[in-house]
Structure 1
């Protein structure tokens, strides 16, 4: 096996077609964050993005998209934003992970959402559930499962939807709209949410805003940005932006107008989106790793992702370990303990409220 490195824009049509064919041949790789279109679009905005093309003789057997940072630190493309990471490869590919990162000019490759079945995976890497809405048996079957396992949530969401329409006006649902205006409304809600909950505002970075805009403008059978919005009396109430393959929609940026919070507009929007997505051929909505109440209420299945790193022996890998691994383990401990998680979340929200007051 040998490896060549390329900028995403240097990939030809043959390479892109091969990438897509490999992705579509394995259901474990059916996630838009692993699509060539996603890496190419991010590469247009970030000069740290590279693609390793893996050959077995004359045949391409895999693609490894990554970002190369100082000291040879490798990260997934759009690290910190994506819920699926790893190689796109032929089934049963055998490789030496350390040899691969060496060929990529890396000292370390770190990941937090590595999909299952990856040659990079080792027993020491920590696994986490990634909740999904499974629509493979249709939307009606999905709602039947909700009635059985989250019956109270399902009934109350429908009741709140009716109440919202009685008190505020008729509801309209736009699935897969490509209009920029509602997208910017959604991003504004998301920024407010980040600040309100003490999180870092991702949309303070111009490249992320431009990335979302470019992905919304990308519309093909195999890949597209998907903007979903719910309106009441023609006023936007809730929405979600994600990306899709032919059959998987990746949950990404959900948000709503807090003036309508008592109606649970996020749950209303997700149920409406699931119905339209199923009608359009989507079989799975991957909501991504992370403990969120709405995910627990809506999920009817789980995938698995892994967190960890592949490292070569050297000073850079040692420095990276000291800076990153203890912090990651501490975070994992907090996330696994409901009391610690609740305390941390409360502290972040308090910080967010104080920050809002001070900035105001």
Structure 2
């Protein structure tokens, strides 16, 4: 195994084609966050992004995209935003993960959504379910599943959609929108949601806004940004922005106008999105790791992702352990305990209301 290191902009057409071929050769890699286009676009905005190109003899056998931070701390590309992370590699490739870290100039690689089966999995990691909407048998089969397993949610959502139409105007859905104006409406809703729930506003970072803008303008058979919105007349009610491969749509930024909260616009939107996505050839909507009620109601399957770190012995690894691991374990304990999780969530929402009052 030989490794060369490159900035994404240094990759040529041959490397990009090989990356895409490796990705499409294994269903485990069928996620847009593992696509070369995603790393290229983030790399244009983040100087920390690098790609380790892995050779098995004279041929390229794998790619390891990552961000390199001070002290040789490695993180996934766009860490904190992505729901699928890791290497893209040939099935028969033998990887020494510690040698890969060394050749990549890393002391540590930390991850929180590492896809299953990765050579980067250390002996100490936690696994979590990542719920999906499986559309491989079509939208009708999916709604049959909902009727059988989430019948109350499905029927109530349809009833609320009809009520919304009666009380507010005709309900319609647009998929794969290229106009940037609805995108910024969606981002505004998302910012309000972050503040309302006491979370950090991701869109206060200009590079993340620019990332989403660039992704929306990116379209192709193998990779594209996808914006879709539900409208009442000409007024947007709910929407989502994500990215897709040929067959997988990554659920990323869903949000809605709280003026319509009583109609459950998020659920109305997700059903509409699933129908249009299935018609466009999408077989899986990966909703991402996270304990959200709407995901439990809508899922009909799940993947598994891992959280942890891979580290080479040394001072940087020790410092990283002290700064990150105890806090991560404490967070995992809270999330795994329903009482603690509910208490923490309530505290964050209270903080959000107080913050909104001070800034409003």
Which residue is 2:112 aligned to?
Answer: 112
Asked if 1:292 is matched to 2:292, the reply is yes
Q: Is 1:172–1:234's contact at 8 Å kept on the other side of the alignment?
A: no
Q: C-alpha distance in 2, partners of 1:154/1:77?
A: 36
- Residues 249-276 of structure 1 deviation map (CA, whole Å, 9 limit, x = unaligned): 0000000000000000000000000000
Q: How does 1:137-148 map to 2 (within 5 A)?
A: 137-148=137-148
Q: C-alpha distance in 1, partners of 2:233/2:19?
A: 44
Q: How does 1:165-314 map to 2 (within 5 A)?
A: 165-314=165-314
Q: C-alpha distance in 1, partners of 2:29/2:224?
A: 16
Q: C-alpha distance in 1, partners of 2:324/2:148?
A: 42
Asked if 1:101 is matched to 2:101, the reply is yes
Asked if 1:318 is matched to 2:318, the reply is yes
- Between Structure 1 and Structure 2, how many residues are aligned? 360
Q: Is 1:254–1:266's contact at 8 Å kept on the other side of the alignment?
A: yes
- Residues 89-129 of structure 1 deviation map (CA, whole Å, 9 limit, x = unaligned): 00132211111011000110000000011111234221110
Q: How far apart are 1:289 and its partner, in Å? A: 0.3
Q: C-alpha distance in 2, partners of 1:96/1:176?
A: 41
> SS of 2:137's equivalent?
coil
Q: C-alpha distance in 2, partners of 1:81/1:333?
A: 22
Q: C-alpha distance in 2, partners of 1:338/1:7?
A: 43
Q: C-alpha distance in 2, partners of 1:311/1:123?
A: 11
Which residue is 2:336 aligned to?
Answer: 336
Q: C-alpha distance in 2, partners of 1:220/1:241?
A: 16
When normalised by structure 2's length, the TM-score is 0.99
Gaps of 5+ in 1: none
Q: Is 2:231–2:237's contact at 8 Å kept on the other side of the alignment?
A: yes
Q: C-alpha distance in 1, partners of 2:125/2:90?
A: 22
Aligned structure 1 segments of 4 or more residues deviating by more than 2 angstroms: none
Q: C-alpha distance in 1, partners of 2:112/2:299?
A: 21
> SS of 1:228's equivalent?
strand
Over the aligned positions, Cα root-mean-square deviation in angstroms equals 0.6
Q: Is 1:226–1:241's contact at 8 Å kept on the other side of the alignment?
A: yes
- Residues 110-166 of structure 1 deviation map (CA, whole Å, 9 limit, x = unaligned): 000000111112342211100000000110100111111111000000000000000
> SS of 2:285's equivalent?
strand
Q: C-alpha distance in 1, partners of 2:332/2:359?
A: 31
Q: How far apart are 1:325 and its partner, in Å? A: 0.4
Q: How far apart are 1:333 and its partner, in Å? A: 0.6
Which residue is 1:357 aligned to?
Answer: 357
When normalised by structure 1's length, the TM-score is 0.99
